[in-house]
Structure 1
Amino acid sequence: MSRQKVGIIGCGKISDIYMQNCTKFGILELTACADLDMNRAQAQAEKYNIPRACTTEELLSDPEISIIINLTIPAVHAEICLQALEAGKHVYGEKPLAVTREEGQRILQTAAERGLIVGSAPETFLGAGIQTALKVIEEGTIGRPVSATAFMMSRGHEHWHPDPEFYYAEGGGPLFDMGPYYLTALVQLLGPISRIAGITGMALQERTISSEKKCGKKIPVEIPTHVAGTMEFSSGAIATLITSFDIFGGSTLPPIEIHGTAGTLLVPDPNTFGGPVKYRKLGEEEWTEVPLLSGYSENTRGIGVADMAYALQSGRPHRANGEMAYHVLEAMWGFHDSSDSGQYYQMQSNCTRPAPLPIGLERYTLD
């Protein structure tokens, strides 16, 4: 196994966990990081013993780096991904893949033309929680899945995030921020989506930041902050999804439930890697908690990059891939398009359910 040299572009809040975990997977060698703020890049390089802090241009011109991890804000995801691909690098980006479908298509087309591969967060579906839920479904414990519910109920990010403005600009909102976790988990568990019906709304046209850094600053709200709808999957299953930043009094709704012909499965929060996973079969009165598969129950962001590196060496498909990320991106826009038109949105893309992670592998190895 040869190590793949990796560079990170974007040294903000999310970069910490990627930098920590890149050192744990032996197939990855994190050699450089870049940011518009050179001081921030240098600080992260020193904190995580990264050999070099540099500009984006310097990082992309390094011939030894084969994989770029793109941790920039959503508005420039596509721009940085395309620059990386044009520099001959494979690229793995934070979610969403891009802001628009056109940008997402351009990323996939450029990668195909250049013989490169694209990966994208979220990779939480590779955690022990959702992998265990997948095993329960595939073993037939709840019968044939026929429906699902998924809820992400929040008051928004302005009360805790140091720089929350982009959550309320184009490319933000509850669906584009948190929806990828829920939709990716549902695609892993139920397969691709065929059509969507959605309604969107906005409770407040302006938000006030209450987190310490920018406390009191007003944010104009440019996107819907409550998105609700239904999805039909190619398998025939029907799912209800609500994502909201307009829940000001809290909620007790579960993150994801899968309902089958023989029982119900409780799926853990798809923004985490762990459990619990529980099921209750038809005729039973108690829930049964399923022991988690051996694997990754802690925050293991970066596992998608490592899986991509293994795929590059073996030639197998990587799991957190660009095609699935684009399918999720199209689905998110499908909710908005359906709301705007008052009609179903028919999905144009397709994707393959990622293969389950093998059981029993040595920790931090994926092949």
Structure 2
Amino acid sequence: MKIAIIGTGFVADYYMTTLANHPQLVLGGVYDRDLARLKQFADYYKVATYPDFETILADNEVNIVVNLTTPENHYLLSKQALEAGKHVYCEKPLAMRYEEAAELVALAERLDLILASAPANALSDAHKLVAKSLDDIGKPRLVYAQMEDGPVFRANWQQWRSGSGARWPGLHEFEVGCTLEHAGYALSWLVSLFGPVESLIAFSALTFPEKGLGTGAITMAPDFSVGCLQFRSGVVARLTCGLAAPRDRSLIVLGDKGTLTVGDLWDHRSAVYLETAAKGRSLRTKLADLMEVRLKRFLPWKPPPGRKLAYDRSAKPAKLPAYPSQIDFAGGIAAQAAAIEQGKPLFSSGKVALHITELALALNNAVSLPQPYKMQSTF
């Protein structure tokens, strides 16, 4: 299936790295309005370029337009691609406003096209392992999800470059906000495991307005958010996103009969631990608890509870970007292509993509929304 990429910035390198995992996807070419950046990218990866976006839309062989532009451009460019009869895979969020995202989903449905949204980490081997193991912990009751990326504004982010030489768009990331950039990685897991959210109570704030050289001239989005999500299934989840606390992208699912712990939602094969009430605590956990009693103080690090679950090692490992972004980014496009070819629905598209977008917007914009926030979308 032939695809075309618009936007050759920092994240596009992640897609190019993982495209090798999916030989059924044929890259027809790429386009970026920054012609210098476009040439740099095309020379590095030795791929064809399009002279403009309109040429992509006119290419009858292109089935999927992959929209990797900046978030404020997602709505208009995705809309144009859909109107041209193209399926669209869009980086998160679908749009910066719920009404625009809902319009895109309705347009895709009306034209019988698939509009899918990143992220693709809910297609990971780790997610499959957790989904298969949920029955072992009984009915899930409570979930703790962390999406903390550490104090990146204190790092030397101005010098960060992708493999092909693109600058990390730090100023723009601070403008858009860590919640719109990162919450989807947790939300995609949560809604695929536990279904739609009915309501949430959220809080967001700009806690560190000074983020270094050049940031004083921009209007920054919240750099911290926390939300308590009430799922229709009865599950309650707490999700935090931030750019200051130590890096933590873990997920803990607590059920009637045990606990599942995922080390890193950005890791395709993250360590996953299972602890059940029937088998009791592991020896490591017991020793750590005993040490705390003996030392009469809390240990800042303890082993995850339970036993580490095993992956199938016979499968060929996926080619992934370097740590910390060990996600098969192109896997979402491959799943979309398979759905198109088979004429089957794609879970991460349409109403689900809209639901995740609405959740991210509700978390990011919590300060200006009534609380509790009642979800408009469902699936």
TM-score normalised by L of structure 2: 0.83
Q: CA deviation at 1:15?
A: 0.9
Q: CA deviation at 1:26?
A: 2.8
Taking the aligned partners of 1:321 and 1:254, their CA distance within structure 2 comes to: 24
8 A contact 1:127–1:296 mirrored in 2: no
Counterpart amino acid of residue 40 in structure 1: R
Of 254, 258, 261, which aligns to 1:263? 258
Counterpart amino acid of residue 100 in structure 2: E
What pairs with 1:152-231 in structure 2 (closer than 5 Å)?
Answer: 152-158=147-153, 159=155, 160=157, 162-169=168-175, 172-209=176-213, 218-231=216-229
Taking the aligned partners of 1:333 and 1:126, their CA distance within structure 2 comes to: 23
Of 260, 264, 289, which aligns to 2:308? 289
Q: CA offsets per residue over residues 139-163 of structure 1, 9 Å max, x none?
A: x111110110011223454432532
Report how many residues are paired. 335
Instruction: Give the equivalent residue in structure 1 for 2:82.
Output: 85
Q: Confirm whether residue 145 of structure 1 aligns to residue 140 of structure 2.
A: yes
Q: Confirm whether residue 70 of structure 1 aligns to residue 80 of structure 2.
A: no
Q: CA deviation at 1:343?
A: 2.1
Q: Confirm whether residue 330 of structure 1 aligns to residue 355 of structure 2.
A: no
Q: CA deviation at 1:35?
A: 0.1
8 A contact 2:205–2:367 mirrored in 1: no
Q: CA deviation at 1:166?
A: 1.5
Taking the aligned partners of 1:228 and 1:52, their CA distance within structure 2 comes to: 41
What pairs with 1:21-60 in structure 2 (closer than 5 Å)?
Answer: 21-60=18-57
Q: Confirm whether residue 346 of structure 1 aligns to residue 352 of structure 2.
A: no
Question: Helix, strand or coil for the counterpart of 1:187?
Answer: helix
8 A contact 2:185–2:265 mirrored in 1: yes
Counterpart amino acid of residue 142 in structure 1: I
Q: CA deviation at 1:267?
A: 1.9
8 A contact 2:82–2:113 mirrored in 1: yes
Counterpart amino acid of residue 205 in structure 1: P
Higher helix content, 1 or 2: 2
Unaligned segments of structure 2, at least 5 residues: 161-167, 283-305, 321-326
8 A contact 1:141–1:263 mirrored in 2: yes
8 A contact 2:117–2:349 mirrored in 1: yes
Q: CA deviation at 1:337?
A: 5.6
Q: CA offsets per residue over residues 308-338 of structure 1, 9 Å max, x none?
A: 1111111111233132221011112333565
Question: Helix, strand or coil for the counterpart of 2:211?
Answer: strand
Change (3 A) 1:328 1:69: same
Q: CA deviation at 1:204?
A: 2.5
Q: Percent identity?
A: 28
What pairs with 1:68-147 in structure 2 (closer than 5 Å)?
Answer: 68-137=65-134, 140-147=135-142
8 A contact 2:10–2:169 mirrored in 1: no
8 A contact 2:362–2:369 mirrored in 1: no
8 A contact 1:273–1:296 mirrored in 2: no
Taking the aligned partners of 2:90 and 2:38, their CA distance within structure 1 comes to: 18
Taking the aligned partners of 2:198 and 2:31, their CA distance within structure 1 comes to: 39
Taking the aligned partners of 1:96 and 1:295, their CA distance within structure 2 comes to: 31
Change (3 A) 1:231 1:17: same
Instruction: Give the equivalent residue in structure 2 for 1:276.
Output: 271
Task: Give RMSD over aligned pairs.
Answer: 2.0
Instruction: Give the equivalent residue in structure 1 for 2:292.
Output: none
TM-score normalised by L of structure 1: 0.85
Instruction: Give the equivalent residue in structure 2 for 1:358.
Output: none
